[in-house]
């Protein structure tokens, strides 16, 4: 070991407390990253095992090749196959058994009258397959459905809905069906497949309620005979299947199911968590850099003496980097262990939150261990690099200087560079969101805005602390004035310390502004496009649920209190080679329930071969009123449709509208997503709502909401998102708090003699504690103010970028009350961060402090 290494380790050993904050910041960031990766590996492996076990008896799946996927759908709509094909395949050589799999949407209503699930994960219903090896579900209690109306449900759904064997309830298919639970089932050894619910019916009931016409099935499950491999079975079946039908192995089907249910969710969820891990590590970078910058400044005389004794620049730099490396390795290793604990905690927490985490041991891969270790070491070394280089540049004559003056707050070069960078950033951002919408330009501008804040930090800190600390002198007297001067003493240090909190507050503000804008957009959409008095709707968050019965709108319209009731159904078709979602409705009544903007042509005469579309889609496809386009449906048929109307708005109605008459020949499982109800003149909202609720109760009891309630319900997913975001950002705020505390602790050590002299001339312990606490609050106030400005601007950029990427107009909203809460949180963090350093300063021995070198 060379001299620099020995000196670095001895210095680290002698001053362990100096690096406590750095150690903790690295540990927390690495633990979050490790926990995210381990949890993702565990979930993915658990779902793989669960699907492999559930589908182990299925050797081949026969299905249609005709599938249409509309934008935003995770999986497409596939054409059904003939259920009778199972009987034909059962007689083929090498086939032991074959059974039709009839599947569709079916949502159970719980004992309390509320639907079970539907907030994202699908609610499924299908026929109960008698062959236990072909059935993915295993009967755990009771018996299989034998008569019409009997069902088996997965045990998790029954427990969530307060149902048990013998319970009678409603199954929304979406038409309401009264069913009796006769059995409870498991999936792959679990009570359910995550939050997916399943209801198993008789084959006759499934064909009656889940398909457009009896005799159809989603697929055919096939089991191979003895000695026949899955590939051999598929090859045999392919030679005998009709055109437009294919066979895939059971392993391929299980892999697709894993990707569909767990892959997409897990990729989104883990990416979401990784983003916040990155934010936490970015905040840690500021804290680590500041710690080493202070330590290097405190050791200026020591480093100068080393240079005077012959140490080279490289050796002094290496000494500092060695200290950083030692802290990084130790903290990252501790973070790996803590991360495994985080993953284990999440595994136990998920079921308590209503998400059944598949049981199984934690899966720890080499990548999940190696990547956080590398990131932790890289972040720590990278943060210490500039201070280390500054230490290496220490001149030998610096040992003769008493103090070094930080003039970064008055640096003209820094001010000019930061201002130029800021103006360039704003110009790029405005160009990206206003002139020529470009996410690349907007994103680049946003990054440069952050860089300009960092460069201008010391310059801004001088002015900001003077303004923010101005009232302290009047309110707290000499103590407040001293706190203000201490914060002004080193603008670079103040800016770096506040920078960590600034990032956390900026992200909090960004999501707060974006969430408020989403709510304002939904309110604007409902106010502008929804002309009804009440709405009957399905859950707005996610794609789960069974939808509404298409018969509901007609039943509501028969009430004497109701003037019009228009349902919006959903369909899908291929238009010019691209999958597109269709709105299926009564076009003649559409304008009475929804504001469509300027309408060219007429919606009254769509009939069985007419279509209406938005002006945006019409221009993109070069269509106008009277032109013809061709629609291909999942049943394999292609028909010409004449454009009978072009309308302006698509926010609630969608981009393409056809009549129920046109959709009926090609429909799959029919369902509405929304029913708009308008009352007759003189009917009060309360009277009309009560009338609609009476009708809705017979159709599975969907929500009946006023305009305001419908807007709030549509934006409910935003509150869930913000709650999760705030919880995840708590770690970043905690790291920022530790950074402030560590900086102040080091500053107290640096100013030991000064603090002793203040105590000697009459300053009390209480006054000294108050001075340090107010200094902490000032630093936090500067970081919070910068974070609010930065977060508000980036929130506006995100809203405008979303507006440019969508046909719907996004509304920008600043929520004052929420931002005040964010500001108070930042100030409270500063006050808490100053408690420990203030206490340590107050406990200093006066005589020893004065005698300190």
| pLDDT tens, residue by residue, 158-190 | 998 999 999 999 999 988 999 999 999 988 777
19, 289, 380 from 324: Cα distances, Å: 9, 10, 6
Residue 3 in this model has a pLDDT that exceeds 60: no
Residue 291 in this model has a pLDDT that exceeds 90: no
- The more confidently predicted of residues 317 and 329 is 329
Name which of 543, 586, 547, 536 is nearest 175 in CA terms: 547
- The more confidently predicted of residues 658 and 527 is 658
Selection from 7-11, 45-49, 224-228, 760-764 with the highest mean pLDDT: 224-228
CB atoms under 10 Å from CB of 254, counted, come to: 21
Q: Classify residue 551 as left (phi > 0), alpha (psi -120 to 50) or beta.
A: alpha
CB atoms under 10 Å from CB of 526, counted, come to: 21
Rounded distance, CA 456 to CA 284, Å? 20
Helices (H), ranges, 353-411: 366-392
pLDDT of residue 753: 75
Q: Residue 174: is the preceding peptide bond cis (ω within 30°)? A: yes
Rounded distance, CA 676 to CA 565, Å? 6
Q: Work out whether strand 176-187 and strand 168-172 pair parallel, antiparallel, or are unpaired.
A: antiparallel
Asked whether the beta carbons of 65 and 246 are under 8 A apart, the reply is yes
Summarised one tens digit per residue, pLDDT across range 729-757 is 777 777 877 777 777 776 776 677 777 77
Summarised one tens digit per residue, pLDDT across range 420-452 is 888 888 888 888 777 766 667 777 877 888 788
Summarised one tens digit per residue, pLDDT across range 776-821 is 888 888 888 888 988 888 888 888 877 655 555 677 888 888 889 8
Q: Which residues of 606-630 are buried (b: 16+ CB within 10 A; e: fewer)?
A: beebbbbbbbebbeeeebeeeeebe
């Amino acid at each position: 070991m060379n001299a620099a290494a020995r000196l670095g380790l001895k210095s680290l050993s002698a001053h362990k407390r100096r690096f406590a904050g750095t150690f903790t910041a690295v540990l927390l960031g690495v633990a979050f990253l490790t926990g995210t990766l381990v949890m993702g590996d565990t979930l993915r492996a658990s779902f793989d095992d669960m699907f492999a076990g559930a589908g182990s008896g299925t050797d081949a799946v026969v299905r249609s090749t005709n599938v249409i996927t509309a934008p935003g759908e995770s999986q497409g709509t596939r054409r059904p196959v003939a259920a009778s094909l199972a009987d034909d395949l059962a007689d083929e050589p090498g086939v032991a058994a074959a059974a039709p799999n009839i599947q569709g949407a079916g949502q159970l209503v719980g004992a309390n009258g509320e639907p079970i699930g539907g907030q994202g994960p699908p609610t499924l219903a299908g026929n109960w397959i008698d062959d236990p090896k072909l059935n993915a579900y295993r009967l755990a209690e009771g018996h299989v459905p034998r008569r019409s109306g009997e069902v088996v449900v997965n045990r998790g759904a029954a427990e969530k809905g307060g149902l048990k064997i013998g319970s009678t309830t409603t199954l929304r298919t979406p038409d309401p069906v009264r069913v009796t639970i006769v059995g409870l089932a498991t999936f792959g050894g679990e009570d359910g497949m995550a939050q997916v619910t399943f209801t198993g019916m008789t084959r006759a009931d499934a064909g009656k309620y889940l398909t457009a016409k009896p005799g159809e099935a989603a697929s055919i499950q096939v089991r191979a005979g003895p000695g026949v491999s899955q590939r051999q079975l598929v090859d045999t079946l392919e030679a005998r299947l009709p055109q437009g039908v294919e066979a895939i192995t059971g392993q391929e089907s299980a892999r697709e199911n894993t990707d569909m249910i767990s892959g997409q969710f897990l990729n989104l969820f883990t990416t979401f968590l990784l983003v916040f891990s990155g934010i936490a590590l970015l905040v840690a970078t500021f804290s680590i850099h500041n710690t080493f910058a202070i330590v290097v400044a405190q050791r200026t005389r020591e480093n100068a003496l080393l240079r005077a004794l012959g140490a080279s620049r490289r050796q002094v730099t290496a000494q500092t980097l060695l200290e950083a490396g030692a802290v990084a390795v130790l903290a990252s290793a501790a973070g790996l262990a803590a991360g495994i604990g985080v993953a284990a905690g999440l595994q136990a927490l998920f079921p308590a939150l209503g998400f059944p985490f598949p049981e199984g041991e934690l899966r720890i891969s080499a990548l999940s261990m190696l990547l956080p270790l590398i990131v932790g070491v890289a972040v720590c070394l990278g943060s210490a690099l500039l201070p280390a280089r500054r230490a290496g540049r220490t001149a030998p004559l610096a040992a003769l200087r008493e103090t070094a003056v930080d003039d970064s707050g008055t640096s003209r070069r820094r001010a000019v560079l930061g201002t130029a960078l800021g103006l360039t950033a704003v110009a790029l951002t405005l160009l990206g969101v206003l002139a020529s919408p470009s996410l690349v330009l907007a994103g680049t501008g946003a990054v440069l805005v952050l860089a300009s804040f960092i460069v201008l930090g010391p310059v801004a800190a001088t002015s900001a602390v003077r303004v923010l600390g101005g009232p302290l002198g009047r309110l707290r007297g000499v103590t407040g004035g001293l706190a203000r001067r201490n914060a002004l003493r080193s603008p670079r240090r103040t800016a770096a310390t506040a920078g960590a909190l600034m990032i956390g507050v900026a992200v909090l503000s960004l999501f707060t502004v974006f969430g408020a804008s989403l709510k304002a957009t939904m309110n604007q959409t409902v106010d502008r496009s929804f002309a009804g008095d009440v709405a009957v709707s399905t859950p707005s968050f996610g794609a789960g649920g069974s939808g509404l019965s298409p018969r509901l709108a007609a039943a509501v319209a028969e009430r004497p209190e109701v003037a019009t009731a228009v349902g919006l159904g959903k369909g899908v078709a291929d238009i010019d080679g691209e999958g597109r979602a269709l709105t299926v409705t009564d076009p003649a009544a559409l304008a009475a329930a929804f504001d469509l903007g300027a309408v060219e042509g007429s919606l009254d005469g769509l009939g069985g071969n007419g279509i209406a579309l938005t002006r945006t889609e019409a221009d993109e496809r070069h269509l106008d009123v009277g032109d013809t386009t061709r629609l291909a449906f999942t049943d394999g048929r292609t028909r010409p449709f004449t454009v009978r109307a072009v309308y302006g708005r698509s926010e609630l109605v969608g981009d393409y509208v056809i009549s129920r008459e046109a959709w009926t020949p090609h429909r799959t499982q029919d369902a509405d997503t929304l029913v708009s109800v308008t009352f007759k003149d003189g009917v009060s909202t309360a009277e009309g709502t009560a009338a609609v609720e009476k009708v809705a109760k017979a159709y599975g009891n969907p929500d009946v909401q006023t305009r305001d309630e419908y807007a709030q319900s549509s934006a409910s997913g935003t509150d869930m998102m913000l709650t999760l975001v705030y919880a995840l950002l708590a770690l970043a705020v905690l790291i920022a708090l530790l950074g402030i505390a560590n900086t102040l602790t080091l500053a107290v050590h640096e100013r030991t003699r000064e603090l002793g002299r203040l105590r000697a001339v009459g300053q009390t312990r209480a006054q000294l504690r108050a001075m340090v606490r107010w200094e902490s609050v000032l630093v936090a106030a500067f970081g919070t103010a910068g974070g609010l400005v930065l977060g508000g601007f980036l929130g506006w950029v995100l809203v405008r970028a979303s507006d440019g990427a969508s046909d719907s107009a996004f509304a920008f909203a600043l929520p004052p009350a929420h931002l005040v809460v964010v500001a108070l949180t930042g100030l409270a963090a500063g006050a808490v961060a100053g408690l420990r350093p203030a206490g340590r300063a107050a406990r200093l021995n006066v005589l020893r402090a004065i005698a300190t070198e």
